[in-house]
Amino acid sequence: MKKLSILTFLLIAVYGLPAFAEPYLALRSGQKCMSCHVNPTGGGKRSDAGSTFGQYVLPETAGADLWNGRVNPYLAMGGDLRANLNYVDRESGDNQSAFETQRASLYLEITPIKDVLTLYVDQLMTPSASNREAYALMWNKERSLYFKAGKMFLPYGLRLEDDSAFIRSASGINFANADNGIEGGYESGAWTLNAALTNGSNGGAEDNTGKQISLRAEHVQSSWRSGASFNLNNGDADAGRTMFNVFGGLQWLGIDWLAEIDSIKDEGTALGDIDRMAALLEANRLLAKGQNLKVTLEYYDPDTDVDEDQQTRTSVVWEYTPLSLLQIRVGLRIAEGIPQATDDQNDDLLFVQLHTWF
């Protein structure tokens, strides 16, 4: 009952106030992901336009004479650092507080043929050094068709920054799991179409002939967008995973809404075939220039054939960007799962994050 009261208060608060969030930026501006990122499907290094937005439009007070990461016309760099102070209120066991360097990444963009050929690297420096993406990206002259080969994040649903979101963790398609293969895309007016063929091993060694197919389509308008994704990953013998989702965004009642619902079917597991479902609803409003409020409702059913095993989470995050390239985020996440769960299903999280980038 206490959690329901908090949820009601947060929904009332966000309705009466104005916001920003990562996919929300594209929704509010009526742009596609490729408008602000080197990667046509979003995430990673910002393009020159994305860098300009982060330096001069997003913050409360814009800086002057800032470096956009470009070394020369053929070489550019970028980076992200997110450092947290987390407090976890555990349902069972001792509560915990800890400092955490959530992520530090460096990006390298080499363009030997301007507007045609790009070599791109996304290197994670901490918490453990590893390569996230490394691919060659080629565009046609009209920049309506592209082809990509190498290690890449898959095109699927909303590209949220939060990998712990149910729609990201349950699907397994997130910033922790890139894959090796090829990808192609088509850009025509309001339409974006993406297709990828990859190993299906999350970047690890391939040991079978099965492959993963990812398809994504999105239609973008100035105040709304909608899309759908499909993913098929064939494993050994009878094992495999089939997923599809629908997602969208809408500017309505002064609020920027994002939503996604995913259906996931795992075949050939030790427990037989399992059907899962994950969903997200996010609402954003602008408090003032440089200040954003986001409320997120999440739902996850790990097995639709089992009653009363669903999990829910409610999050509220205040994002304050006082200066160019510097953001402070304060968030509260309230989780509710089955009472007997021994993992983090019922653990509440309070965090403060410093995010800086270039």
pLDDT of residue 179: 96
pLDDT at residue 66 in the model = 87
Position 1 pLDDT exceeds 90: no
The continuous run of DSSP H or E covering 291 comes out as strand 291-301
- What is the four-CA torsion angle of 22, 25, 27, 30, rounded to 10 degrees? -150
Asked if the model's pLDDT at residue 254 lies above 50, the reply is yes
State the pLDDT confidence band at 34, using cuts at 50, 70 and 90. Answer: confident
Q: Contacts by 329-334 with C-beta closer than 8 Å and gap 24+?
A: 329/353, 329/355, 334/3, 334/6, 334/7
Please check the confidence at residue 18 and state whether its pLDDT lies above 80: no
| Token pair belonging to 154 | 């898959």
Tokens of 105: 């990444």
The predicted pLDDT at position 262 comes to 98
Residue 239: pLDDT band by 50, 70, 90 thresholds?
confident
Who contacts 189 (Cβ-Cβ below 8 Å, separation ≥6)?
Answer: none
Reported as a pLDDT band with limits 50, 70 and 90, residue 236 is low
How does DSSP classify residue 37? B
Place of tokens 């030790």: 270
Burial of 119 (0-12, 13-18, 19+ CB in 10 A): middle
> What's the whole-number average pLDDT of the chain?
90
The pLDDT-based confidence of 299 (bands split at 50, 70, 90) is very high
CA–CA distance, 15 with 312 (Å, rounded to integer): 21
List the one residue out of 258, 197, 200, 193 whose CA is nearest residue 224: 258
pLDDT of residue 135 exceeding 50, the answer is yes
Task: Decide if pLDDT at 24 tops 50.
Answer: yes
Q: Which of 46-60, 101-115, 130-144 has the lowest mean pLDDT?
A: 46-60
Q: What is the pLDDT of residue 302?
A: 96
8 A C-beta contact, residue 287 and residue 263: no
When mean pLDDT is compared across 97-111, 137-151, 329-343, the lowest value belongs to: 329-343
Specify the pLDDT at position 269. Answer: 87
Does residue 153 register a pLDDT over 60? Answer: yes
CA dihedral over 43, 48, 49, 52, signed as positive or negative: positive
Mean pLDDT of 196-203: 90
Q: Which residues of 319-356 are buried (b: 16+ CB within 10 A; e: fewer)?
A: bbbeebbebebebbbbbbbeeebeeebbbbbebebebe
Query: How confident is the model at residue 104, as a pLDDT?
Result: 96
* C-alpha to C-alpha distance for 146 and 14, rounded to whole angstroms: 39
Give how far the C-alpha of residue 105 lies from the chain's centroid of Cα atoms, to the nearest Å. Answer: 15
* C-alpha–C-alpha distance, residues 228 and 204, integer Å: 27
Instruction: Count other Cβ atoms within 10 Å, centred on residue 173.
Output: 28
Report the range of poorest mean pLDDT among 28-37, 121-130, 170-179.
Answer: 28-37
For residue 38, report the phi and psi dihedrals to the nearest 5 degrees: -65, -40
Query: For the chain, which residues make up each domain, given as ranges?
Result: 2-357
- Lowest mean pLDDT: which of 13-17, 39-43, 224-228, 323-327? 13-17
Question: Is domain 2-357 in CATH 3.20.19.10, yes or no?
Answer: no
- Residue for token pair 């290197």: 123
Across the range 332-353, mean pLDDT stands at 91
Q: Averaged over 122-137, what is the pLDDT?
A: 95
Task: Kindly tell me if the per-residue pLDDT of 13 is higher than 60.
Answer: no
Q: What percent of the chain stands above pLDDT 90?
A: 74
Residue 237: band (very low, low, confident or very high) from pLDDT cuts 50, 70, 90: low
Structure token digits, residue 9: 């208060």
Q: Grade residue 349 by pLDDT with cuts at 50, 70 and 90.
A: very high
Cβ–Cβ under 8 Å, residues 215 and 227? no
pTM: 0.89
What gap in Å lies between CA 19 and CA 341, rounded to an integer?
Answer: 35
* C-alpha count within 13 angstroms, C-beta hemisphere, residue 250: 8
User: Token pair for residue 294?
Assistant: 């986001």
Per-residue confidence at 210, pLDDT binned at 50, 70, 90? confident
Average of pLDDT values for 294-304? 97
Whether omega for the bond prior to residue 40 falls within 30 degrees of 0, making it cis, is no
